[in-house]
A and B are shown apart, each in its own frame.
Chain A
Amino acid sequence: MLEIKNLHVKLEEEDKVILKGVDLTVESGKVHAIMGPNGSGKSTLSYVLSGKDGYEVTDGEASLLGEDILEMEPEERAAAGLFLAFQYPVEIPGVGNMTFLRTAVNAQRKARGQEEMNATEFLKEVRARAKDLKIDADMLKRPVNVGFSGGEKKRNEILQMAMLEPKMCILDETDSGLDVDAMKLVAEGVNALRDEGRGFLVITHYQRLLDHIKPDVVHIMANGRIVKTGGPELALEVENNGYADILAEVA
């Protein structure tokens, strides 16, 4: 599904290297988790994959379903099936959440040569998905993420994911800022989308989320590289002992 080989990334504006050879493959139908200390490059990886400006790929490659994505525009990557749930969802004053969602859904459909969703169909769909995530109608009417609490923003990301039905979902700390109940809702939202044809890359600092979204593989990222890969037990080890042992071991 998602194949990353030897990915090197530096900042465009300065000589700071952030990713120093990331190798990672997420197979279709699988959930991979990435954990790692603050500043190790997890969000950078997610941004580079989704096409944010300001980063320069100096080496390596990344492909989605066999297609090189690094040369694509962000919207092309999205249409190809990539989705990033942002660590910090952006507020867009003046753009209604509904307008935004519908524009996004239809833009992707159009890019894939599918028919656009009509207003009634769309409304029905959004309402049903929003209900599952306990997002009330009022939130849908408000401008994108404006005045949303931290947890509401994260739920809104999952709503978008559910509506867009991407192939490859990257979730960057979607659990941070969520209360226990909201975390369950979000996990249920993610689990409902788990499917043979879909891959997940879940970035998190906490085992808690992984209790609900059971990963197949856990990676540890440190200093711009994947330094260790294992099963779900690796997350437990981090939870109990922190990163010191793992980092010492690979140093």
Chain B
Amino acid sequence: MALAPVTAILTPRKQEATEARLAAMTMPAGGWSDAARQDAVARVRAMGLPGARDEYWKYTKPEGFVDVQAQAAAVFQSDEAPMFDELDRLKIVFVDGVFDADASDDLALEGVSIDRLAEAADIHWAKDLYGVLEERGQDPVQRPLASLNTAYATDGILIHVTGKPSKPINLIYRHASEQSDAILHHVIKVDAGAEATILENGPAASRFNKCMEVDVADTGRLHHVRAQGRDHERRAITHIFARLGTESTFKSFTLTVNGVMTRNECVLELTGDDAEAHVAGACMGDGNFHHDDTVFVTHDAVNCESRQVFKKVLRNGATGVFQGKILVKEGAQKTDGYQISQSLLLDDDSQFLAKPELEIYADDVACSHGSTSGAIDEDGLFYLRARGVPRGMAEDLMTIAFIAEAVQEIENEDIQEQINNRVAGWLERRRG
């Protein structure tokens, strides 16, 4: 089977932009990660940072992520308590990408070992993963911003899940400086039979490039829930590279409200039989908002299930993008692949651009994909109003109902409720 790689042409202009960016950056001394970082820089040079003409960047402008200088972004003052505050969790706080020891908990929790990338001892388990999954994820589609991340990440968290920690690990990203430009790289390794929940929340920085490599061994389970902060002007490019072993599970959900520019890429590889990977997202965009979910799921084993559920609520000229692919390799029989991307357009000014793709090289598979775009269902709205629910409240109920399929991908019902409350708050503020 020969897969046509999606390579972008390295034009002189792109090369120039890439060199300019690299020249402005300093590679941290990484000890055990040095070799991986050098390799990553070489990848960046070979690919070039994304340009506006690249096929994979057709719907989202890459400049904001590529430019030497990050654009300033105002720090948003919110009266809302930070997400996950009510939960018992282990807190790890970064401010503009810099670890904040005082605000963080002790990095000790039974069933898991936690280290900081910037401080991890020389011989480290993460050496086998750092940049490795990212590199695997470059084929068949290039993701140079992830290689840039591997090369220049200043810090990150290395989590080795060996048991079943009693509480979630919460990575909290605070934004303090209008000029901040942060690069973090996390590595998570889940052992056989182990299970953990990783929470992430906060805007992180004016510009944030984050990469998370996840390796789930046979029968391991990892839950991931994140809420990208409400700062209107922040920009974020994030990558998840996950590799799943036999009978393992990876479930990831992302809530995005506001942010001028966000691209969340998720690259999942099901390499062991009977594995299950779910990736879901709900975003709420108002006005100057561009949100891109780019997902690539590769089935390379028998009887695996993958689900992609993405919902976007857009108003006032906001733009939503979805590029999602299911690739079923030869021999990946009994694959069950599901993909849905939908947008709820609250007015005529907003737009949703979707590119769903299936590429299948096995014959005994069940894959479905769908993409829709529409307004609130008038009949449902009338039904609610006829029962006495005022219009605004009825619209909010319908909107929360619209994202429900994505939110329900979160296993923990308390967290589901918290997500719904956030969305309700967002809608309420817009009703005045």
Contacts and interface: CB of A to CB of B under 8 A. Distances in A.
B385 A79 contact: no
Given A53-B378, A94-B402, A75 B389 contact: yes
Nearest to B407: A94
A52 interface: yes
Interface string A81-101: 000101001111111000110
Interface string B361-383: 00000000000000001111011
11 contacts: A51-B385, A51-B386, A52-B386, A74-B385, A84-B386, A92-B398, A103-B384, A103-B393, A107-B387, A144-B383, A164-B388
B401 interface: yes
B115 interface: no
Contact of A107 (B377, B379, B389, B402): B389
B383 A93 contact: no
A91 to B, nearest CB: 8
Interface in B222-275: none
A100 B379 CA distance: 15
B405 interface: yes
Contacts of A111: 388, 390
Interface of A: 50-53, 73-75, 77-79, 84, 86, 89-95, 99-100, 103-105, 107-108, 111, 143-144, 160, 164
B397 interface: yes
A143 B402 CA distance: 12
Nearest to A84: B386
Given A53-B382, A90-B379, A104 B387 contact: yes
Q: Across the A-B interface, give the 6 residue pairs with the lowest CB-CB distance, nearest first.
A: A94-B401, A94-B404, A78-B388, A108-B388, A104-B387, A74-B385
A129 to B, nearest CB: 15
Contacts of A86: 383, 386
Contact of B384 (A51, A52, A94, A100): A100
A7 B7 CA distance: 68
Nearest to B390: A75
Given A92-B380, A92-B401, A95-B398, A50 B389 contact: no
Contacts of A92: 377, 380, 383-384, 398, 401
Interface of B: 377-380, 382-391, 393-394, 397-398, 400-405
A73 B393 CA distance: 14
Contacts of B386: 50-52, 74-75, 77-78, 84, 86
Contacts of A100: 384, 387, 397
Given A50-B386, A86-B383, 17 more contacts: A53-B378, A53-B382, A73-B390, A74-B385, A74-B386, A75-B389, A77-B386, A90-B380, A90-B382, A93-B401, A93-B404, A100-B387, A103-B389, A104-B388, A107-B387, A107-B393, A164-B387
Nearest to A86: B383
Nearest to B402: A94
A116 B405 CA distance: 30
A37 B150 CA distance: 73
A104 B397 contact: no
Contacts of A105: 388
A104 B389 contact: yes
Interface centre among B382, B385, B387, by most chain A C-beta atoms within 10 angstroms, is B387
Contact of A90 (B383, B389, B391, B405): B383
Contacts of B389: 75, 103-104, 107
Interface centre among A79, A90, A99, A111, by most chain B C-beta atoms within 10 angstroms, is A90
B391 A73 contact: yes
A78 B380 contact: no
Contacts of A51: 385-386
A105 B384 CA distance: 11
A91 B380 CA distance: 7
Interface centre among B385, B391, B403, B405, by most chain A C-beta atoms within 10 angstroms, is B385
A77 to B, nearest CB: 8
A205 B377 CA distance: 29
Contacts of B394: 75
A105 B377 CA distance: 22
Contact of A104 (B384, B401, B402): B384
Interface centre among A91, A92, A94, by most chain B C-beta atoms within 10 angstroms, is A94
Nearest to A145: B383
